[in-house]
Amino acid sequence: MQARAVVVREPGGPEVLQVHEVDVRDPGPGEIRVRVGAAGLNRADLLQRRGLYPAPPGHSSEILGMEFAGEVESCGAETARFRPGDRVMGIVGGAAMCELLCVQEREAVAVPAGLQLQEAAAIPEAFMTAYDALSLQVRLATAEWVLIHAVTSGVGTAAVQIVRATGARSIGTSRTVAKLKRIEACAPDATLVVPEGKFSEESRRLTGGRGVDVVLDLVGAAYLSENLASLAPQGRMIVLGLMGGVTAPMPLGVLLSQRITLIGSTLRHRPIEEKIALARSFERHLIPLFEAKRLRPVLDEVFPVDRVRAAHERMERNENVGKIVVAFST
Ligand SMILES: NC(=O)c1ccc[n+]([C@@H]2O[C@H](COP(=O)([O-])OP(=O)(O)OC[C@H]3O[C@@H](n4cnc5c(N)ncnc54)[C@H](OP(=O)(O)O)[C@@H]3O)[C@@H](O)[C@H]2O)c1
Of ligand 1's listed atoms, the one at least distance from the Cα of 244 is 31
- d(CA 242, ligand 1 centre) in Å: 8
**Cα(298)–Cα(304) distance, rounded to whole angstroms?**
18
Q: Roughly what angle, to the nearest 10 degrees, separates helices 124-131 and 272-285?
A: 90
Q: State whether the beta carbon of 274 lies less than 6 angstroms from ligand 1.
A: no
State whether residue 32 is helix, strand or coil.
strand
DSSP H or E stretch at residue 4? strand 2-8
Instruction: Determine the residue of 136, 155, 247, 298 to mutate for testing ligand 1's pocket, defined as the one with the most ligand atoms within 8 A of the Cβ atom.
Output: 155
- Output the pLDDT for position 304: 98
C-alpha 21 – ligand 1 centre gap (Å): 31
The residue contributing the CA closest to ligand 1 atom 44 is: 241
Buried b / exposed e over 149-185, threshold 16 CB at 10 Å, is bbbbbbbbbbbbbbbbbbebbbbbbbbbeebbebbee
Tell me what pLDDT residue 61 has.
83
Which helix (H) or strand (E) segment holds residue 291: the answer is: helix 287-291
The atom of ligand 1 lying closest to the CA of 126 is 6
Residue 230 CA to ligand 1 center (angstroms) comes to 20
* pLDDT 10s digits, 143-169: 999 999 999 999 999 999 999 999 999
Please name which of 324, 284, 328 lies closest in space to residue 306, comparing C-alpha atoms. Answer: 328
Ligand 1 pocket check for 157: Cβ under 6 Å: no
Report the b/e string of 33-44 with b at 16+ CB within 10 A: bbbbbbbbbbbb
| Cβ–Cβ < 8 Å for 220, 214 | no
Where helices occur in 153-266 by DSSP H, the ranges are 154-166, 177-181, 200-206, 224-230, 252-257
Closest residue (by CA) to atom 43 of ligand 1?
318
> What confidence tens digit (pLDDT) does each residue in 50-86 have?
999 988 888 888 999 999 999 999 999 999 999 999 9
Q: Which of 41, 129, 175 to mutate to test ligand 1, by most ligand atoms within 8 A of the CB atom?
A: 175
Question: What strand order describes the sheet that includes 212-217?
Answer: 190-193, 169-174, 145-148, 212-217, 231-239, 261-264
Distance separating the N- and C-terminal Cα atoms of the chain? 22
CA nearest neighbour of 238 among 126, 137, 124:
137
pLDDT attached to residue 56:
87
What's the gap in Å between 245 CA and the centre of ligand 1?
12
Q: What is the pLDDT of residue 82?
A: 98
Q: Rounded distance, CA 291 to CA 199, Å?
A: 35
Distance 3 CA to ligand 1 centre (A): 30
Which of 42, 173, 315 to mutate to test ligand 1, by most ligand atoms within 8 A of the CB atom? 42
pLDDT given at position 57: 86
- Environment class of 224 (CB within 10 Å of its CB; exposed 0-12, middle 13-18, buried 19+): buried
Residue nearest to atom 23 of ligand 1 (CA): 153
Backbone angles phi, psi at 136, to 5 degrees: -90, -40
Question: Cα separation of 2 and 91, whole Å?
Answer: 22
Q: Mean pLDDT of residues grouped by 10 in the chain (330 residues)? A: 96 97 96 98 96 87 96 97 98 96 97 97 98 98 98 98 98 95 89 95 98 98 97 98 96 96 95 96 97 96 98 98 94
Question: What is the DSSP-derived secondary structure letter of residue 78?
Answer: T
Q: Is 230 helix (H, G, I), strand (E, B) or coil?
A: helix
Given a contact cutoff of 8 angstroms between Cβ atoms, the answer to whether 102 and 35 are in contact is: no
